[in-house]
Chain A
Amino acid sequence: MILAQQLLLGLLIGGIYGLAAAGLSLVFGVLKVLNVAHGELIMLGGYGAFWAVALLGIDPFASLLLVLPLSLLLGLALYWALFGFVVRADEETRVKNSLLIGFGLALALHALAVRLWTADERSIITPYGGAVISVGDLSIPVVRLLSLALAFALIGGLHLLLTHWRWGQAIRATADDWQAALLTGIDVRRAYLLAFAIGTGLAGAAGTLVSIGYSISPSIGLEWTLKALIVVVLAGLGSMIGTFVGGLFLGLAEAASAAAFGGPYREVVGLVIFVVVLVLRPRGLFGR
């Protein structure tokens, strides 16, 4: 029964892994740029929600309505200031340059967060924070269940955006073949900009959910970049629903290995998955 409870909690955090990975996957798939500061963007989103709740006194989940658009704007700014220059290079140089810029950005954002919010761990306390739903012997924390549902809704919305919106289709076309996209009249630079902004928006949303159900500190960035990267490798590029499922899978796998080998081994399983997938199926489970 304890195992079932642990797996349930794994599944709940897995939804956030999926959301965290979706942004990274979108940016990597479209811009061919690995944004290693993705975790720091998640961290910033978490603090954004923290501020919204602490300073404005709004409901933590409602803070998404603030954090999401602000993160989109932050994404636009970061693209204009930094990543827009990277995508002008050919694809080999792109990955190299994006790593340098990403690490620099990660360090800067980390320092900024320590200054603004100190290095202490924070989490958002909600009035309904302790509420649980009991199903048999399982107890489901309401806040985390809501987070999972929101993560799923956001991924579903993203999927609709990419399949039905004109520019969403343009973003997918650019991911498939940017030169062919140019030949159909798509302004590829704008597709890059939009994809990066949406990716940053998703990071902000993921951060909000992390700060509500779990906790944030200025140093969580690397950990979240790593989780997102593992999910991207596991799920492969090209399907946002697949990425979400990959996130759920990682959450379950972590919970299972923690149950089998003890808490310290929770993190190890992700890295094992990372290596095994790269060796056996480099394009990922749902990759195209």
Chain B
Amino acid sequence: MLEIRDLVAAYGDVRALSGVTLSVGSGEIVALLGPNGAGKSTLLKSIAGLLRPRAGAIRWEGEDLRSVGAHLIVERGLAMVPEGRRLFGSMTVEENLELGAFAARARPRKRANLDRVYALFPVLSERRRQIVRALSGGQQQMVAVGRALMTNPKLLMLDEPSLGLAPRLVRSILEALVEINRGGVAVFLVEQNVQAALTLAHRGYVLEAGRIVGEGRGADLLRDPHVRRAYLGPLA
């Protein structure tokens, strides 16, 4: 469904990605692991159209996305939950979610998707009239995931959704992702929480210094000595 080949991206003279190749199939949960500065966010931003790559191809259902505007990429069924949530801070929970249904592909299913999000995160339903800035970090993350779901995506990309959350909340966000995936949405998950990410992912890639240095099934990567040493600490 999503095919990335030899992708090169840079900020000015600083290379962030030097030839990344990976793919996400329909219905899959794929994890992307890697340390800070490896280029994970850069990769997601390139796919979402927020950053123009220097070279390589991003193909989505056969179409090259590199010259498609970010707002039109949403129309093609790719949604992204950006790092740091990036909510519309001055608006209520419901306004944030409703704006998620701005795209033409999402408008007809707005009501149904809103119900789906509230079923997934019942606490948001209770807080629907609150300004999002007043919510806790975990609840804000739920709004961010919910807003992306409102675009009615085929593929949901998430940039470190567990960042800064208490373990209990991390679990409930990740469980929600499994639930979303069961509904037929592919998930591409960027995480530093390797254990959690690989437990739920079907496949994973390891990105270091702008290159893919490992890939495999989630369970295999979890047993891989290199991955264990690098991401789970010497005692793991």
Contacts and interface: CB of A to CB of B under 8 A. Distances in A.
Interface string B83-100: 000111111000100111
Interface residues of B, number: 30
A177 B74 CA distance: 16
Say whether chain A's binding surface is mostly helix, strand, loop, or mixed: helix
A188 interface: yes
Contacts of A172: 88, 90-91
Contact of A183 (B80, B89, B95, B98): B80
B79 interface: yes
Interface of A: 166, 169-170, 172-173, 176-177, 179-188, 238, 288
Given A183-B70, A185-B75, A177 B106 contact: no
Contacts of A182: 49-50, 69-71, 74
B153 to A, nearest CB: 10
B99 A288 contact: no
Contacts of B89: 176-177, 288
A211 to B, nearest CB: 35
Say whether chain B's binding surface is mostly helix, strand, loop, or mixed: loop
B147 interface: yes
Given A176-B90, A288-B89, A184 B82 contact: no
Nearest to B88: A176
B42 interface: no
B90 A166 contact: no
12 contacts: A166-B102, A172-B90, A176-B89, A177-B88, A179-B86, A180-B87, A181-B99, A184-B103, A185-B71, A185-B105, A186-B71, A188-B71
B185 interface: no
B67 to A, nearest CB: 15
Contacts of A183: 48, 50, 70, 74, 79-80, 82, 86, 148
Contacts of B75: 185
Contacts of A180: 82, 86-88
B220 to A, nearest CB: 32
Nearest to A163: B95
Nearest to B45: A179
A185 B103 CA distance: 5
B151 interface: yes
| In the complex, the 5 A-B pairs of residues with the closest C-beta atoms, listed nearest first | A185-B103, A185-B74, A182-B70, A180-B86, A176-B88
Contact of A184 (B49, B69, B102, B104): B102
B163 to A, nearest CB: 16
A68 B102 CA distance: 28
Contacts of B80: 183
A17 B50 CA distance: 38
B71 A173 contact: no
A42 to B, nearest CB: 27
Contacts of B49: 182
Interface string B104-119: 1110000000000000
Given A170-B99, A183-B50, 13 more contacts: A170-B102, A177-B86, A181-B99, A182-B69, A183-B70, A184-B100, A184-B102, A184-B103, A184-B150, A185-B103, A185-B104, A186-B71, A186-B102
Contact of B90 (A170, A184, A187, A288): A288
Contacts of B50: 179, 182-183
